């Protein structure tokens, strides 16, 4: 743990000197901040090692949303992944930037979780600006108040993109089988 802290502390200082916080520019909470806070945002939800949903958006609010389509009577781990193409939308980009700006400067550490439930969804969020990508692993199984507040922001961002994804046209389908995808 000390080795991680010795690496992370100088990184946080360097980011703050450069005008960046863990979750965006120092002006992230400024109402006049540009809607294009992040150049690229990606979010992934998994359960039992398998994809549930994922999305990738540019700072313009467009990109793709992928969902799994479960099929009756098929074995676990074999199903189609359905990719939807989401058109650019400055209003969605501004809304998403406002949601993500509410993330705390420091993500809660799941290792410090007191109240834990197993087998709940988990995943990652990746936020990129310029040459800097911040990747945060999350686990919805931590029921501690601070972690649930963090998860509420992620769920709100996910719901916004999922609504756009469900309404968007299907770009392609791939079959997921045993951790591999194929057309």
Q: Which of 47-61, 74-88, 136-150 has the lowest mean pLDDT?
A: 74-88
Residue 123's pLDDT band (cuts 50, 70, 90):
very high
pLDDT tens for each residue of 5-46? 444 444 444 444 344 444 444 334 444 444 348 999 999 999
Which one has a higher pLDDT value, 15 or 103? 103
Element (H, E) at 175: strand 170-177
Element (H, E) at 92: helix 90-100
What per-residue confidence (pLDDT) applies to 179?
A: 58
Whether 92 is in a domain gets the answer: yes
What per-residue confidence (pLDDT) applies to 77?
A: 67
Name which of 92, 100, 60 is nearest 165 in CA terms: 92
Residue 76's pLDDT band (cuts 50, 70, 90):
low
Whether 163 is in a domain gets the answer: yes
Angle separating helix axes 145-167 and 90-100, nearest 10 degrees: 170
Structural domain harbouring 169: 28-182
pLDDT at 101 over 50: yes
Which one has a higher pLDDT value, 146 or 183? 146
Whether 18 is in a domain gets the answer: no
Mean pLDDT for the stretch of residues 128-138: 93
Q: Under the phi-then-psi rule, with left for phi > 0, alpha for psi from -120 to 50, and beta for the rest, what region is 169?
A: beta
Whether 33 is in a domain gets the answer: yes
Q: CA–CA separation, 175 vs 72, rounded Å?
A: 15
Q: How many domains are contained in the chain?
A: 1
Whether 1 is in a domain gets the answer: no
Whether 21 is in a domain gets the answer: no
Whether 128 is in a domain gets the answer: yes
pLDDT tens for each residue of 154-182? 999 999 999 999 999 999 998 876 655 55
Identify the CATH number of the domain in which residue 125 sits: 3.30.1560
């Amino acid at each position: 743990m000390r080795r991680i802290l010795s690496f992370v502390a100088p990184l946080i200082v360097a980011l703050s000197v450069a005008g960046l916080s863990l979750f965006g520019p120092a002006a992230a909470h400024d109402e006049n901040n540009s809607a294009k806070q992040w150049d690229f945002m990606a979010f992934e939800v998994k359960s039992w090692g398998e994809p549930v949903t994922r999305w990738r958006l540019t700072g313009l609010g467009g990109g793709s949303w992928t969902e799994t389509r479960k099929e009756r009577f098929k074995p676990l781990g074999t199903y189609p992944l359905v990719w939807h193409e989401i058109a650019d939308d400055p209003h969605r980009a501004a809304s998403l930037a406002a949601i993500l700006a509410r993330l705390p400067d420091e993500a809660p550490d799941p290792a410090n979780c007191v109240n834990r439930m197993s087998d709940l969804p988990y995943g990652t969020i990746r936020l990129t600006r310029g040459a800097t990508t911040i990747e945060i692993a999350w686990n919805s199984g931590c029921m501690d108040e601070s972690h649930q507040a963090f998860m509420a922001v992620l769920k709100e961002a996910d719901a916004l993109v999922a609504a756009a994804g469900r309404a968007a046209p299907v770009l392609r389908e791939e079959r997921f089988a045993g951790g591999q995808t194929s057309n």
